[in-house]
Amino acid sequence: MKSFDSVEELTDALRAHGYVSDPALSMSLFLSLKMERPLFLEGAPGVGKTEVARVLGSLFETELIRLQCYEGLDIHQALYEWNYRRQLLALQAGGAEGLKDIYSDAYLLKRPLLRAIDPAGKAAPVLLIDEIDRADEEFESFLLELLSDFQVSIPEIGSIRARHRPMVILTSNRTREVHDALKRRCLYCWIDYPSFDKEMSILSTKVPDLSARLKRQLVSAVQELRRLDLAKAPGVAETLDWAQALMALGVAELHSDVVRSTLGTLLKSREDIAAVEEQLDAGAWPAKAG
C-alpha cells in the first residue's frame, strides 16, 4: 500500500483526487494512516465527512465498503447472516451427511463489517461507518471489540481476523453523543463549514468552468445564508448543487429572481425556504459580491 512521508504530500494527493482539505483534517488523516487507527469525523451534514472515505478509496485504489447506520441496526445486518434458503436446499439434496458442510463460507452472507476484515481480501479496504450517531448504543459496544482487534468470532466457523487492517472512517452528524469509549479507539477531527477561501477552492476544483465572478457571488451568498437562523444550513454538497444548477441555466450573475427559483437546490424544508424568501423580499439577502 502506498504511503505518504508528510502531511503536505497527503494534502496535495487529496487535492489531486478532488478533495480540498485543511491542515487539521490532513494531520488527522495522516496520523490515522501512520498509526493504523480509525478516524472519527464529526460535523454538520454536508461538510464533506463521507467524501473523505470516498477519496481515500480512490487515492489507494482500493475497495470502499460502506456501512450506513440507522436506528435498529443489529450485528447480523452489519456483520453476517447465513443463507438459510441455500442451506435448506443443500440439506434436502444431501441429507444428514451435508449438515456439516452447510456451515461453511459458501453459505455465509458477508455484510460490510465482515467484508472489511475478510482475510481473503487482497488489499486493505476503506471501511466507512457512516452516521454512527444514528445506531443504537448496543451496536456501539460491539464496534469497540471489532475496532480493537479487527477480529470476530462466528460460532459455527470460529475466529476470523483481518489479514489487511482496513482504513476506517467513522462519521457522525452529532444527533446524539457517541460514547467516549468508542471515541478513544479513534483519532478525532471536527469538520466545520468551510471558510470563504476554502469554499472558493472547493468550487474551483469541483466546478472549474464556473466564472470567477459568479463563483464569488455564490460563495458569498451561501456564507451569508449559514448565518441565518435556519433548521438546516446548506452544506458544501448544496453549494455544489447550486453551482451546477446555475451553470445548467446559463446564469452569468446572481439576481433575486434566479435565487428565488433555485432555492430548492440549497434548502430542504418549506420553513427554511419561506424564511429566506422573506430575506429576499426585504433585500437583506444575498449581498452583492464580485
CATH code assigned to 7-190: 3.40.50.300
Question: What separation, in Å, do the N-terminal and C-terminal C-alpha atoms of the chain show?
Answer: 45
> What is the CB neighbour count within 10 angstroms for residue 277?
16
d(CA 18, CA 102): 46
**Which residue has 468508542 as its cell numbers?**
182
Domain-wise residue ranges, the chain? 7-190, 196-281
Strand pairing category for 158-161 and 108-110: unpaired
Residue 275 is predicted with a pLDDT of 93
Please state whether the predicted TM-score (pTM) of the whole model is above 0.85.
yes
Residues near 162 by Cβ (< 8 Å), separated by ≥ 6? 116, 117, 118, 119, 121, 150, 151
Residue 92: strand pairing partners: none
Which residue, among 149, 133, 114, 125, has the nearest Cα to 41 in the 3D structure? 133
> What is the CB neighbour count within 10 angstroms for residue 45?
18
Residue 99 is predicted with a pLDDT of 58
pLDDT per 10-residue tile (average), the chain, 290 residues = 90 96 97 96 94 97 96 91 86 64 85 94 95 92 89 89 96 93 95 96 94 95 93 94 95 91 94 93 72
Residue 91, H or E segment: helix 84-94
Residue 97 is predicted with a pLDDT of 54
Residue 41: strand pairing partners: 171, 189
Which residue, among 35, 17, 16, 6, has the nearest Cα to 167 in the 3D structure? 35
Residue 283 is predicted with a pLDDT of 83
CB 174 within 8 A of CB 42: yes
